[in-house]
Structure 1
Amino acid sequence: MVVCGDDGLARRLAAELRDVYQERVTLVVPAAREPQSVVGRQRVRSLGLFGRASGRPAGERLSARELRVLEATEPDEEVLAAAGVAGAAALALVYEDDDANVRGALVARRLNPRLRLVIRLYNRKLGQHLEELLDQAAIVAEPGIDLRELDSSTTVLSDSDTAAPALAASAVAGTSKVVQADGLLLRAVERTPPGRGEVADPGLCTLALLSATAGDPAGSEGAELSGERGPQLLPDDRAVAAAAGRGTVALEAVSHAGPARAASRLSAASLPVASLFSRRLRWSLAGVVAAVAALAVASWLTTGDHPLHAAYITLLDVFAINDPAVDASTQQQVLQILAGFMGLLLLPVLVAAALEALGAFRTATALRRPPRGLSGHVVLLGLGKIGTRVLARLRELEIPVVCVESDPEARGLASARRLRVPVVLGDVTEEGVLEAARVHRAHALLALTSSDTTNLEAALYARAVTPDLRVVLRLYEDDFATAVYRTLRAAHPAALTRSRSVTHLAAPAFAGAMMGRQILGAIPVERRVLLFAALEVAGHPQLEGRTIAESFRPGAWRVIAIDTASPEDRRPDLASALGEGPAGRPGLVWELHPGYVLKAEDRVVLAATRRGLAELLGRTSTLTPDL
């Protein structure tokens, strides 16, 4: 594997490929960047792989978990050739500059038509055209090449797109251990052992038995190994029943537990009356109407006129368009004076109502305001490229959101307007901005601005208002994130706190794409890892012609879903967001009958260990055991 980049994503991606997938990696970074964050300079030197001064004989193969680092400013033809692209299985181009990634991809495709390309681009439309162009170039370079069979296609990803599901899951479910399949978010949740007389909920399925149970399941990020027994991956029902006192890792779909009425309010197509008029103005209008009605009743009782005529005369007096009651009785004169006084009171109320309604309608054409009484929502800070993708993902899950953005020209405001999501324009560090977003009644706070200090300040202020609020922070520096996490957990032990780095969350998705489109993602279980893959049944005797129960091999692989879409309507990448493929709708069935016989034309989603997936793919000779 070859990784080229100039920021933290490249280094994290190289570490993911080496540590999780046990691949041999060549990392190309600019000379000004030091790659200590991947393995550390001391360890690189001990392996003799830093730069080109390793002294390794030409042609000698690198062993698993080794990393070779080259220094180069741009991925030109000479650099890619030196990195071994001609004989590599996959290349990731993850520079922050889209132009550099596109130029490197064009050169790499010419050097190796069979190379699996993973390119970092934010522009989705450009990415789609680039995928088609590079795949067509491979076919022209080698007529008869089957990109689908070799899994040598081009994949264009965005770090914001790939990090969005994990950020959304952190706000909703409190964990980043998620996998996206067919538009559905799945999470691996750690559960404590059931008490006496209780039955454990397996969710969609039980993924693993833990070696130790964390004291805080909702906040644990994976227990460390303790005791003599390590984690047992993909256990069968007999092993689960016999594992008394051990925690489990279950697979379940991510859902929102907040009030349903909040979502219905935010998705309403019409503008509610409550957004037009404030509560004080509504009470004022009600008081004036009640007073006018009382005057109409008094006029009817005093004069003996018809009720409608008495109401009509009263309204004329209120609006000062009736003749003075000079020759009328004393009672009528008093009522006329009171009606005129009510008219004077009604005038400023009507002016205030007109101004509020005008402002509300003007806001409705641009940005919505948070409805009064809203609760159970997610407050999203920042509508940059990361916040925009997270907002779209949260609305796909039908989770109510209120956004806060300081820049009136931010790119995400157009998406918020299209999705009819309430937005508060203002600096989150200013007093009253978070209150306007109803943070005191929110389910979670997602601080995703580009400033670490701004995110931290917003989180601290929100915690001061609501101590048990779930908080997810976007922090770039690992050391700073660790210090913030520990301090917030110590100060608010009952509240859930998460610190997330976009590069850290995006690296697994890029690594999965480099391994091939069949890899949907990976979830760590203590010091081991479970892979999720989409696989065609045809050509795999371990699956074809067997029932779901017979195809299950404990400790190796397990079928957890079947794609019901016809082969011509299937999306090539199940890990993509819902609606991006030709099918445009979910096609996976998760409730599987154990007696269903897998056919050659079926496509299944597997949970597998590295060793088990390697056996299915025929790559057992190149992988080390699952550590």
Structure 2
Amino acid sequence: MVVCGDDALAHRLAAELRGVYGEQVTLVVPSAQRTVRPPVVGRARAVSAALLDRVVGAAVSLGAAGGANGGGNGGGNGGGDAAGRQERLMEAVEPTEVVLADAGVERAAALALVYDDDETNIRAALTARRLNPRLPLVLRLYNRRLGQHIEELLDQAAALATGEDTGDASTTVLSDADTAAPALAAAAVAGTTKVVQTEGLLLRAVEQPPVRGQQTAPGLATLALLSPPGGGTPGAEGGDERGPELLPDTAAVRQAAGQCGRVVLEQVAYAGDGTSAPVAGARRGIGGVVPPLGSLFSRRLRWSLAGLAGCVLALAVALWLVTGVHLLGALYLTLLDLFAINDPAVGASTGRQVLQLLSGLVGLLLLPVLLAAVLEGLGTFRSASALRKPPRGLSGHVVLLGLGKIGTRVLTRLRELDVPVVCVEAGAEARGLATARRLRVPVVLGDVTQEGVLESAKIHRAAALLAVTSSDTTNLEAVLYARGIRPDLRTVLRLYDDDFATAVYRTLRAAHPHARTRSRSVSHLSAPAFAAAMLGRQILGAIPVERRVLLFAAVDVAGHPQLEGRTVGEAFRAGSWRVLALDAAASAEQPAEPDAAEPRTSGLVWDLPETYVLRPRDRVILAATRRGIAELLGRRGRAGVQRT
């Protein structure tokens, strides 16, 4: 595997491929990135290699003491080769043709280009496709529309170069922002907030508190058992800090009933055309051409118009009672008096004359109100040139700090879930301001570290604070300042270093035990999806469960002995993977069992019977851990044999 990048995602991806999948990795980074501290998985791997070297060194010393110097030297070289096969580090400013050739793309199993610049990734991908037309490519691109065209272009170039439509030369375009945004947005919303969203499918993970006597959880499946309140492993007494139990079996769920919470999977239906707009409370008046009537006029103006309409009705009723005219006729005469187009009531009764004067006075009051309505309406339609301010009575919203690459994607996810948001951005040229205008989201411009900025975003009435700026210190300072205002505020902060994120999470959880705190590293959330894509799997998304990650993938049954020819019950492996649904559109026919559920609008068959036999032509949706995906791919065993 060849990984080229210039930030923490490259190191995390290389560590994921080495530590989880046991792959040989060539990492190409700029020279300045050599000093970057490797992530946790990489350091754990380095510690294991160091221990191996110590053991080999001890064997060499014993061999030398016994007079077998040649054998000792041979053993030392062998140990060095075993450790060196796992990662090869190269330094290069840009992934040029010479650099890619030296990295071995002509004989590599896959290439990942995860530079922060889209143009650099595209240029390197075109070069790599020319060097090796059959090479599977994984690109990191922020521009999703451009990514679709690049994916088609690279696959077409591979087909023309090889002269055949081969499935090996596949191109996968991913975005770390799109991969991490659902998890970040999910952590900011209470309860039912962990969402995996793809075309035609929306899955939601719901955290349920422990309930005594509850044997089965409602929903599609139980994904995980959360850590007990006192820490330790679910279902075990005196457990350690290993965290939650992912993909438990029925016995484990029954044993942990009432002791710890669980994560249950639910499905949310899509709108009629199958787009990414969920039906559940989705997108009311977001991004439409004509805004709703309530957003055209302010509350004060609406109350003024309502008051004037009440005055007109009162005058019409009074005229009806005084003159005895029909009620509709009295309303017509009142409107004529209101607009000053009726004849003066000369010679009429005193009551009629007084009502005409009052109607004229109401008409004078109506003119400035109508002018204000016109100006506000025009201002609303021209809101693309101005930012909205937080409404005075806003409460229960999410305060989002930062409208950069990650913040823009998180904002879109939150609005798709119909969560009210107030954004805070320091720069007036941030890329996400246009999205905020389009979605009609209030924005506060200012430095979040300055006093009064979070107060302007109504932080004291907010439901959660989501800090996703590019500065770790800014995110941490904003969270600490917000906690000073509201100690029970739910906070989610994005941190660059995964170790730092873990330390901050534990410290804030200990300092504020009654508040919910989540710290997320984007590279930690994105690397599993990139790694699995390099291994040829269509990853639908990832859901964090405490400090661990569950992957959702679409897998063809053919070629997988763990799935092919087995029933759904036999294919389930606790702690590794679980079949959730059958893609009926990709399969040749519907399940033969009469108990199988009917296909939904998304083309997925849920609640498959345990006796349904998976056929080679089937395509299934499954949830898996990172090690489960690695084992299902069949690579860990081969890598282990090579290392041995």
TM range (shorter): 0.7 to 0.9
Q: Partner of 2:302 in structure 1?
A: 282
Q: Aligned partner of 2:609: which letter? A: H
Verify the 8 A CA contact 1:512 1:520 in the aligned structure 2: no
Verify the 8 A CA contact 1:402 1:421 in the aligned structure 2: no
Match of 2:611 among 577, 590, 595: 595
C-alpha change, 1:261 and 1:467, in structure 2 (3 Å) is: farther
Q: Partner of 1:427 in structure 2?
A: 446
* TM-score, length-scaled by structure 1: 0.76
Partners of 1:386 and 1:100 lie apart in 2 by 19
Q: Which moved more, 1:516-525 or 1:77-86?
A: 516-525
C-alpha change, 1:138 and 1:341, in structure 2 (3 Å) is: closer
**Structure 1 residue 156 displacement after superposition:** 2.1
Q: Partner of 2:373 in structure 1?
A: 353
Q: Partner of 1:155 in structure 2?
A: 172
Match of 1:76 among 78, 96, 117: 96
Q: Partner of 1:498 in structure 2?
A: 518
C-alpha change, 1:532 and 1:20, in structure 2 (3 Å) is: farther
Q: Partner of 1:580 in structure 2?
A: none
**Structure 1 residue 602 displacement after superposition:** 0.4
**Structure 1 residue 592 displacement after superposition:** 1.4
C-alpha change, 1:553 and 1:324, in structure 2 (3 Å) is: closer
Partners of 2:547 and 2:508 lie apart in 1 by 26
SS across alignment from 1:252: strand
Partners of 2:242 and 2:467 lie apart in 1 by 39
Q: Partner of 1:581 in structure 2?
A: none
**Structure 1 residue 10 displacement after superposition:** 1.2
Match of 1:386 among 399, 406, 420: 406
Partners of 2:407 and 2:96 lie apart in 1 by 33
Partners of 1:37 and 1:74 lie apart in 2 by 21
Partners of 2:550 and 2:331 lie apart in 1 by 77
Verify the 8 A CA contact 2:492 2:517 in the aligned structure 1: yes
**Structure 1 residue 226 displacement after superposition:** 3.1
1:167 maps onto 2:187 in alignment: no
C-alpha change, 1:254 and 1:485, in structure 2 (3 Å) is: farther
Q: Aligned partner of 2:619: which letter? A: R
Q: Aligned partner of 2:514: which letter? A: A
Task: For residues 225-277 of structure 1, give each alpha carbon's deviation from its aligned partner in whole angstroms, at most 9, with x where no partner exists.
Answer: 93599976654434543567764754513779x99778546588864443333
Q: Which moved more, 1:164-173 or 1:197-206?
A: 197-206
Partners of 1:457 and 1:391 lie apart in 2 by 21
Verify the 8 A CA contact 1:24 1:64 in the aligned structure 2: no
Partners of 2:280 and 2:395 lie apart in 1 by 10
Task: For residues 491-516 of structure 1, give each alpha carbon's deviation from its aligned partner in whole angstroms, at most 9, with x where no partner exists.
Answer: 64333222333333222221121222
Output aligned runs, 1:368-447, within 5 Å: 377-397=397-417, 399=419, 401=421, 403=423, 410-416=430-436, 420-424=439-443, 426-427=445-446, 429=448, 442-447=462-467
SS across alignment from 1:36: coil
C-alpha change, 1:597 and 1:369, in structure 2 (3 Å) is: farther
Q: Which moved more, 1:363-372 or 1:446-455?
A: 363-372
Partners of 1:504 and 1:162 lie apart in 2 by 10
Output aligned runs, 1:296-315, within 5 Å: 296-304=316-324, 307=327, 310-311=330-331, 314-315=334-335
Partners of 1:295 and 1:208 lie apart in 2 by 67
Partners of 2:520 and 2:407 lie apart in 1 by 13
RMSD: 5.0
**Structure 1 residue 157 displacement after superposition:** 2.0
C-alpha change, 1:73 and 1:521, in structure 2 (3 Å) is: same
Identity in percent: 66
SS across alignment from 1:32: helix
C-alpha change, 1:335 and 1:63, in structure 2 (3 Å) is: same
Q: Which moved more, 1:200-209 or 1:73-82?
A: 200-209
Q: Aligned partner of 2:302: which letter? A: R
Q: Aligned partner of 1:205: which letter? A: A
Partners of 1:518 and 1:339 lie apart in 2 by 70
Verify the 8 A CA contact 1:109 1:115 in the aligned structure 2: yes
Q: Which runs of 5+ in 1 are unaligned?
A: 50-54, 570-583
Verify the 8 A CA contact 2:400 2:423 in the aligned structure 1: yes
Q: Partner of 1:14 in structure 2?
A: 14
Verify the 8 A CA contact 1:22 1:65 in the aligned structure 2: no
Partners of 1:442 and 1:172 lie apart in 2 by 11
Task: For residues 528-555 of structure 1, give each alpha carbon's deviation from its aligned partner in whole angstroms, at most 9, with x where no partner exists.
Answer: 8766543322344543343322333456
Q: Aligned partner of 2:180: which letter? A: A
SS across alignment from 1:128: helix
Number of paired residues? 596
Partners of 1:346 and 1:525 lie apart in 2 by 58
SS across alignment from 2:376: helix
Partners of 2:551 and 2:468 lie apart in 1 by 28
SS across alignment from 1:85: coil
C-alpha change, 1:193 and 1:598, in structure 2 (3 Å) is: same
Verify the 8 A CA contact 2:407 2:432 in the aligned structure 1: yes
SS across alignment from 2:620: strand
C-alpha change, 1:172 and 1:284, in structure 2 (3 Å) is: closer
Verify the 8 A CA contact 2:487 2:512 in the aligned structure 1: yes
Q: Which moved more, 1:162-171 or 1:347-356?
A: 347-356
C-alpha change, 1:301 and 1:121, in structure 2 (3 Å) is: closer
C-alpha change, 1:198 and 1:12, in structure 2 (3 Å) is: same
Verify the 8 A CA contact 2:285 2:291 in the aligned structure 1: no
Partners of 2:237 and 2:3 lie apart in 1 by 30
Match of 1:226 among 218, 239, 257: 239
Q: Aligned partner of 1:172: which letter? A: V
Partners of 1:487 and 1:457 lie apart in 2 by 14
Q: Aligned partner of 1:385: which letter? A: K
Q: Partner of 2:5 in structure 1?
A: 5
Output aligned runs, 1:164-313, within 5 Å: 164-172=181-189, 184=201, 186=203, 194-195=211-212, 197-201=213-217, 203-207=219-223, 213-215=228-230, 226-227=239-240, 234-242=247-255, 247=260, 250-253=263-266, 264=284, 271-304=291-324, 307=327, 310-311=330-331
Q: Partner of 1:574 in structure 2?
A: none
**Structure 1 residue 201 displacement after superposition:** 1.6
Task: For residues 135-192 of structure 1, give each alpha carbon's deviation from its aligned partner in whole angstroms, at most 9, with x where no partner exists.
Answer: 3444455555x742x4x42222222222222222222367998766655455667766
* TM-score, length-scaled by structure 2: 0.74
C-alpha change, 1:378 and 1:302, in structure 2 (3 Å) is: same
Partners of 1:224 and 1:176 lie apart in 2 by 30
Verify the 8 A CA contact 1:47 1:66 in the aligned structure 2: no
Q: Which runs of 5+ in 2 are unaligned?
A: 54-73, 270-277, 590-599
C-alpha change, 1:269 and 1:133, in structure 2 (3 Å) is: closer
Output aligned runs, 1:65-144, within 5 Å: 66-143=86-163
C-alpha change, 1:377 and 1:185, in structure 2 (3 Å) is: farther
Partners of 1:318 and 1:191 lie apart in 2 by 61
**Structure 1 residue 7 displacement after superposition:** 1.4
SS across alignment from 1:87: coil
C-alpha change, 1:208 and 1:183, in structure 2 (3 Å) is: same
Verify the 8 A CA contact 1:177 1:188 in the aligned structure 2: yes
Verify the 8 A CA contact 1:379 1:401 in the aligned structure 2: yes
Output aligned runs, 1:440-589, within 5 Å: 442-452=462-472, 455=475, 459=479, 468-476=488-496, 481=501, 485=505, 488-489=508-509, 492-518=512-538, 532-554=552-574, 557-566=577-586, 586-589=602-605
SS across alignment from 2:300: helix
Q: Aligned partner of 2:299: which letter? A: R
